Amino acid sequence: MTAFEVMTEKQGIDPCPETIVSMLQICFQCRQPSKGLELIEKVRAQSNGRPLDGSIYDAAISGCGSSGLISQGIALVEDAAKHGASLPSGALTVLAQALQHQGQTGAVELERLRELAEQLNINLLPAELAVAASD
């Protein structure tokens, strides 16, 4: 976080999406998801209501899915939809897989994710998972 603050506040640098994605991946891979979510909040605050780059949403949503932070991941998908962001086709896969592993417990959230995927015009699951889910 300190690196991000130095870049943005002290040096006035507007970090490119790749830099933000790298920082998010570091946060989630080092088991510091709260730092990743804090970073997203700072980036959103600096965006002045503009949609974030789809790769930023993708990294954050995937990080939430792999960390078991399902509700935060869905909130990020809702934010992307609200701001008209363009997400990569596989952006929801990790989150959907985490919900599938929850079985009935995650059924309501999985349905919400399906609705959001449709709204964003992206496939929720790769073809092989979609077939397995319908079995």
Tally of domains in the chain: 1
Give the pLDDT confidence score for residue 128 in this predicted structure: 42
* pLDDT one-digit tens code per residue, 50-104: 889 999 999 999 999 999 999 999 999 999 999 888 888 888 988 888 888 887 8
Provide the domain limits for residue 123: 2-134
Mean pLDDT, all residues of the chain: 84
What CATH number has the domain bearing residue 38?
Answer: 1.25.40.10
CA distance 17 to 46: 13
127 has a pLDDT exceeding 50: no
CA distance 25 to 32: 10
* pLDDT one-digit tens code per residue, 19-42: 999 999 999 999 999 999 999 999
For residue 58, count CB atoms less than 10 angstroms from its CB and return exposed for 0-12, middle for 13-18, buried for 19 or more: buried
